[in-house]
Amino acid sequence: MSPQYRVQNPVDNQVIETFPSASDASIEQTLADSATAYREWSALPLATRAAAVTRVGELFEDRKEELAEIAATEMGKPLHEGIEEAEFASAIMHYFADNGAAFSAEQEIPTGGDARAFIRRLPIGPLLGVMPWNFPYYQIARFAAPNLVLGNTIVLKDAEICPRSAVAVQQIMDDAGIPHGVYSNVFATHEQIGTIIADPRVQGVSLTGSERAGSIIGAQAGKNLKKAVLELGGSDPFVLLDAADVKAAARLAWNTRMYNTGQACNSNKRMIVMDDIYDEFLTELVDLANKARPVDPHSPESAADDTYCPLSSRDAAENLDAQLRRAVAAGATVHAGGELAAEGAYFSPAVLSDVPVGSDVYYEELFGPVATVYRVASDAEALELANNTQFGLGGTVYSQDPERAAALSRRLEVGMACVNTPSAESSELPFGGVKRSGFGRELGPLGMDEFVNKQLYYVEK
C-alpha cells in the first residue's frame, strides 16, 4: 500500500491536511494530455519556450517567502533556507532559458568530402520525474528547466510528504503560461509509477532519492527500455589535511553538515582529519553540538548557527536514531547529541567517531544531523578511507597547499571533486555521481544533454 499524500508537521507530528491519490483514469488522462502537449510544445520556437521558462523563474523569485513557509511546515526546512532554495530554483530556470539555444545548437561534423553532417539535439517526448522531499523546489527546477526549454513535457510525481509544495510549483507553471499538459503534477501511487514508466508514450524517467528507490526505478526503466537518470545517496568525504585555524575549519565542516538539518545527498557525511589536528577539530565539533538548541523552523531564530530544526518526519528521526544505536553497538562513540525527542522529529545534532570501517553501518548513509569523524595519519590513508564507500557523489579536500589537496582530490572516486570549498553548487555546474550514487548529470550544459535525441543529420550534395 502506497503512503498517503499528507502534510504532517514535523514539529509535533500532527497531520494537517491530506490529499487523495490519483485515480488510474486520471493518470491515463495525464499521459494523454502530456503526449498531445508534446507535439505542440516541441514544435514551438525554442525562444518561445525559453520565454515561458523565464517567467517561471520570475515567479519562483516573487513567491519565495510563500514557498519557504510551505517547506517549513511540510518538512521542517528553516525559513531562510527555504527562501534560498526558491531563489536557486529561479536561477536555474533563468540559466537554461538564457543558454538553451546554445546548448542545443546543431554541431557540424567534418566529413572530409562534399557532404555535410550535423548532430541535432532534439527533444524525445514526455518524461516522468520522481522527486524527493528534502529540496522540494530545487530538485524539480533542475529536472524541469532544461527539459522544458528543450521541448520535452513533464509528468511530475513528488514525495508524499510535500504535496503543498508540489501544488505550488504546478500553480507557478500554470501562472507562467506553461500550456496544459506540458507540466503535470500527479499524486501517483507507487504502483502507478510503474504503469507510467511502462507506458509507450513516456520516453524517460529521472529520479532523485534513495538507493532502494533508484534500484526499483532503474529496473523498471531498463525492463521497458527507457532512458533513466538516477541521483541517489552519498557518503561524501570531507578531507582535512591541514589548517591554519583548526577551529574555523571545524565550524565550516559543522555548518556544512547541518545545512537542511543534515538532509542533503551531497553533505559532508565523513570528516576525515589528519592526526595532528584531529583532537582540536573533534573538540570544536563537540562544543558546537552541545550548544545546539531546537527551534521551530518558522522562527527567525532558525537562521542562527546554534539552532536546529526537526527532520522531515518522525519516521526519518527514528530511522536515524536506530542507525546511531547500531553504530554504537558496532564500537562507535557518540561524543555529543544523538537524542531523539519524545515527540515530533527533533534529533539533537550528534558527533560520532570510531565507526568501525567494514561494519554494515559504516557503509550506510546517515541522512541527518550527524557529524562522523575519522582520524588518519597520511594522505594515502585519507585517500583509501575516502574511497572506501559504495557511494560516489562528491568529495572535498582541504589544505593550505592547494597542489597537495588537488593531488588527492584527483583520485577521489566521485562525480564532483572539490578543493578548499565544501561543495560546488551553481546553475552552471553539473551535478551527479558514480558508483551507487547513480548516473547521469543535472545542471550546467550536461543537464540539457540527457533526455535528448542526438540525431545525425546528413546531407549529400
Catalytic residues: 231, 265
84-108 burial string, b = 16+ CB within 10 Å, else e? bbbbbbbbbbbbbbebbeebbeeee
First to last CA, the chain: 61
CB atoms within 10 A of CB 120: 14
The three grid cell numbers given for residue 225, joined into one nine-digit string:
527500455
> For residue 236, how far is the Cα from the chain centroid?
13
The three grid cell numbers given for residue 391, joined into one nine-digit string:
557511494
Q: Taking the CA of residue 244 as centre, how many other CA atoms within 13 Å lie in the half-sphere pointing to its CB?
A: 3
Give the phi and the psi of residue 174 in degrees, each rounded to 5.
-65, -45
Nearest to 291 by CA among 322, 321, 237, 250: 250
Cβ burial, residue 396 (10 Å; 0-12/13-18/19+): buried
E-assigned strand segments in 232-338:
237-240, 270-274, 293-294, 307-308, 333-336
Is residue 458 within 8 Å of residue 120, measured between CB atoms? no
The three grid cell numbers given for residue 377, joined into one nine-digit string:
595519519
Q: Which residue carries 578531507 as its cell?
A: 239
Q: Rounded to an integer, what distance in angstroms lies between the CA atom of residue 450 and that of residue 200?
A: 19
The partner residues of 364 in beta bridges, in order of sequence, read: none
Q: Rounded to an integer, what distance in angstroms lies between the CA atom of residue 56 and that of residue 63?
A: 11
- How far is residue 299 from each of residues 74, 77, 119, measured CA to CA in Å? 15, 11, 52
Q: Which residue carries 540559466 as its cell?
A: 95
Question: In 176-313, which ranges are continuous DSSP H helix?
Answer: 190-198, 211-223, 246-258, 275-291
